[in-house]
Structure 1
């Protein structure tokens, strides 16, 4: 199996790499459209800001590459948000794989933004190992995707939101599997087993 991590100005490529190494998985890190297109599976990581990241993807032609992929693709954190149609973060047009708008959390009482910490997941349908339901996953984000028909796991902070999604060959998680201990390992294994 040929696995690639899309290389762009995202902050968590190193930690995703370490997580895959712990699982004994071979992979390449590349921004080559040809290499990405030829891969058996693709990971689209992300830590950063939506508008500058989308500008970078468009500049490199990676926006067209990602949306044209037919193999399994896993978006992580900002990667998941950029798979949506629009983000309230700097009013950014995104990739449009999921027809959803990414919304900003509004602080409520002692619930601050960004949301940082461990949340448990409720599975709603799909591709994730059932064992993840009893686990906690690590989140750090100020924007969220509302619960929608493509939601495959839900968690709650201020309000319920999509912790994971799935549509066709596109899979996504808002939390960081590479920082989520056993839950994260289950997510990566679920994706690698597709």
Structure 2
């Protein structure tokens, strides 16, 4: 069973529907239910300050999780040490780096639409190589470690990160068609293989 953490940010139904093609899923903010899950998904659409505030009571559960954790878009950004969105806000401090706004030189902000994710070999990308995924974001995680994919949008930025049992993707697999479903399937497989 995969726990999709409900902390007041969107796409819960579409993520649940995608996961349910491969495993049972529950949308929850119950700490015991999250602890009992085989994997955890931190979805994300919205602003970092509100999201991290809404996660206050679940912060320890997420950070201390022993099962695979997938952060999607804002969910990935929450792995950072700090975010510059809406001032300086502390993140979950799982992966070194900070969340910063795209410079105006990139052109249109937010970065919205399909873009190529150039990925390294990692189990989350099993059967996927340099494919188009769907993005919607004005800020990106300028990670200092664990970068497993990059995307070019005027500047090259990390579009996927991984460290220990934490995996983050800046794009939305649940909105990325067949290739996105393959990534969700890969995450479910990672969860099933987790001892």
Q: TM-score when scaled to structure 2?
A: 0.92
Tell me the CA shift for residue 189 of structure 1.
1.4
1:161-190 Cα shifts (integer Å, max 9, x gaps): 111110000011000000001221121111
| Aligned pairs for 1:32-43 within 5 A | 32-43=30-41
Residues of 2 paired with 1:24 and 1:30: CA distance?
18
User: Equivalent residue for 1:26?
Assistant: 24
CA 6–147 in structure 1, closer or farther in 2 if over 3 Å, else same: closer
Which of 146, 151, 154 is the equivalent residue of 1:155? 151
Residues of 2 paired with 1:38 and 1:131: CA distance?
29
| Aligned pairs for 1:85-104 within 5 A | 85-90=81-86, 91-104=88-101
| Aligned pairs for 1:1-194 within 5 A | 2-21=1-20, 23-58=21-56, 61-90=57-86, 91-108=88-105, 111-146=107-142, 148-194=144-190
Tell me the CA shift for residue 25 of structure 1.
2.4
Tell me the CA shift for residue 134 of structure 1.
4.1
The alignment covers a number of residue pairs equal to 189
Question: Does the aligned pair in 2 maintain the 1:123–1:130 contact within 8 Å?
Answer: no
Tell me the CA shift for residue 108 of structure 1.
1.8
4+ residue runs over 3 A deviation: none
CA 130–71 in structure 1, closer or farther in 2 if over 3 Å, else same: closer
Residues of 2 paired with 1:145 and 1:57: CA distance?
18
1:91-122 Cα shifts (integer Å, max 9, x gaps): 2111000111011001226x211000101111
Residues of 1 paired with 2:97 and 2:125: CA distance?
25
Question: Does the aligned pair in 1 maintain the 2:10–2:44 contact within 8 Å?
Answer: yes
Residues of 2 paired with 1:127 and 1:77: CA distance?
19
Residues of 1 paired with 2:115 and 2:78: CA distance?
22
Unpaired runs of at least 5, structure 2 = 191-195
Unpaired runs of at least 5, structure 1 = none
Tell me the CA shift for residue 132 of structure 1.
2.2
Residues of 2 paired with 1:184 and 1:15: CA distance?
12
Tell me the CA shift for residue 133 of structure 1.
1.9
SS in 1 for 2:4: strand
Q: TM-score when scaled to structure 1?
A: 0.92
CA 147–32 in structure 1, closer or farther in 2 if over 3 Å, else same: closer
SS in 1 for 2:18: helix
Question: RMSD in angstroms over aligned alpha carbons?
Answer: 1.4
Residues of 1 paired with 2:96 and 2:126: CA distance?
26
